[in-house]
Amino acid sequence: MCGIVGILGAKPVAGDLVDALRRLEYRGYDSAGIATVENGHLDRRRAEGKLKNLELRLSNHPLQGRAGIGHTRWATHGRPVERNAHPHMNGRVAVVHNGIIENFQELKGELAAKGHEFQTETDTETVLHLVTDYLDQGLPPVEAARMALERLSGAFALGLIFAGHDNLMIGARQGPPLAVGHGEGEMYLGSDAIALAPFTDMVTYLEDGDWVVLTREGAEIHDMTGRRVERPMVKSIASALLVDKGNYRHFMAKEIHEQPEVIGHTLANYLDMAAGKVVFPELGADLAKISRVTISACGTAHYAGLVGKYWLERYARIPVEIDIASEFRYRESPLPEDGLAIFVSQSGETADTLASLRYCKAGGQRIASVVNVRSSTIARESHVILPTLAGPEIGVASTKAFTCQLSVLACLAIAIGRARGAVGADQEKELVRALTEVPRHLTTILRSESLYESLAVSLHKAKDVLYLGRGPSYPIALEGALKLKEISYIHAEGYAAGELKHGPIALIDENVPVVVVAPENDLFEKTVSNMQEVAARGGQIILISDATPDKAGCKLQTHLQMPHAHPFISPLLYAVPVQLIAYHTAVVMGTDVDQPRNLAKSVTVE
DSSP state of 207: P
Handedness of CA 368, 374, 378, 382 (dihedral sign): positive
Q: What is the DSSP string of 95-144?
A: EEEEEEETTHHHHHHHHHHTT----SS-SHHHHHHHHHHHHHTT--HHHH
Taking only the tens place, the pLDDT of each residue in 14-34 is: 999 999 988 777 666 788 999
Q: What is the pLDDT of residue 149?
A: 96
Strands, E, within 413-553: which ranges? 464-469, 491-496, 513-517, 540-545
Which of 300, 301, 306, 298 has the alpha carbon at shortest distance from 475? 306
Q: Peptide bond preceding 87: is omega within 30 degrees of 0, i.e. cis?
A: yes
Are 135 and 160 in contact by the 8 Å Cβ rule? The answer is no
224: exposed, middle or buried (Cβ count in 10 Å: 0-12, 13-18, 19+):
middle
Taking only the tens place, the pLDDT of each residue in 478-527 is: 999 999 999 999 999 999 988 888 988 888 888 889 999 999 988 888 88
pTM of the model: 0.78
Q: What angle do CA 401, 405, 409 make, to 5 degrees?
A: 175
Strands in 366-371's sheet, in edge-to-edge order, are 320-324, 292-297, 339-345, 366-371, 384-387
Which of 409, 411, 344, 412 has the alpha carbon at shortest distance from 378? 344
Would the CATH topology of 254-436 be identical to that of 443-589?
A: yes
The low-confidence residues of the chain, meaning pLDDT below 50, are 240-241, 604-605
Q: What is the pLDDT of residue 238?
A: 56
32 backbone dihedrals φ, ψ, rounded to 5°: -150, 160
Q: What is the pLDDT of residue 211?
A: 97
Q: Which helix (H) or strand (E) holds 324?
A: strand 320-324
Per-domain residue ranges for the chain? Answer: 3-246, 254-436, 443-589
Q: Which helix (H) or strand (E) holds 396?
A: none
Q: Given the residues 2, 298, 404, 411, select the one marked as catalytic.
A: 2
Side-chain-side CA neighbours of 435 within 13 Å: the count stands at: 32
> What 3-state DSSP class applies to 506?
helix
CA distance 125 to 241: 33
Q: What is the pLDDT of residue 604?
A: 40
Q: What is the pLDDT of residue 26?
A: 61
Domain 254-436 annotated CATH 3.40.50.10490: yes
CATH of domain 3-246: 3.60.20.10
Active site residue 2: yes
Strands in 464-469's sheet, in edge-to-edge order, are 491-496, 464-469, 513-517, 540-545, 558-561
Strands, E, within 149-251: which ranges? 154-162, 165-174, 179-182, 187-190, 202-205, 211-215, 218-222, 228-229, 233-235
Q: What is the pLDDT of residue 28?
A: 62
58 backbone dihedrals φ, ψ, rounded to 5°: -70, -35
Are 582 and 488 in contact by the 8 Å Cβ rule? The answer is yes
Which of 79, 89, 9 has the alpha carbon at shortest distance from 44? 89
β-bridge mates for residue 496, sequence order: 469
CA distance 407 to 405: 5
Q: What is the pLDDT of residue 274?
A: 84
Are 283 and 425 in contact by the 8 Å Cβ rule? The answer is no
DSSP state of 80: S
CA distance 583 to 94: 39
Q: What is the pLDDT of residue 289?
A: 92
CA distance 326 to 352: 5
Q: What is the pLDDT of residue 76?
A: 66
Distances (CA, A) of 448 to 154, 381, 401, 441, 540: 17, 42, 22, 12, 21
Radius of gyration of the chain, Cα coordinates, nearest whole angstrom: 24
CA distance 60 to 50: 17
Q: What is the pLDDT of residue 259?
A: 95
Side-chain-side CA neighbours of 386 within 13 Å: the count stands at: 29
> What 3-state DSSP class applies to 363?
coil
Active site residue 601: yes
463: exposed, middle or buried (Cβ count in 10 Å: 0-12, 13-18, 19+):
exposed
CA distance 293 to 118: 42
117 backbone dihedrals φ, ψ, rounded to 5°: -105, 125
β-bridge mates for residue 452, sequence order: none
Q: Given the residues 50, 277, 361, 601, select the one marked as catalytic.
A: 601
Long-range pairs for 588-591 at CB < 8 Å and ≥24 separation?
588/456, 588/457, 588/460, 589/460, 589/488, 589/489, 589/490, 591/487, 591/488, 591/489
CA distance 385 to 348: 10
Query: Helix axis angle, 425-436 relative to 438-446, nearest 10°?
Result: 30
Taking only the tens place, the pLDDT of each residue in 189-243 is: 998 777 888 899 899 989 889 999 999 999 999 998 999 999 999 887 655 445 6
Side-chain-side CA neighbours of 74 within 13 Å: the count stands at: 26
CATH of domain 443-589: 3.40.50.10490
Residue type, 500: L
CA distance 521 to 518: 8
β-bridge mates for residue 35, sequence order: 44, 69
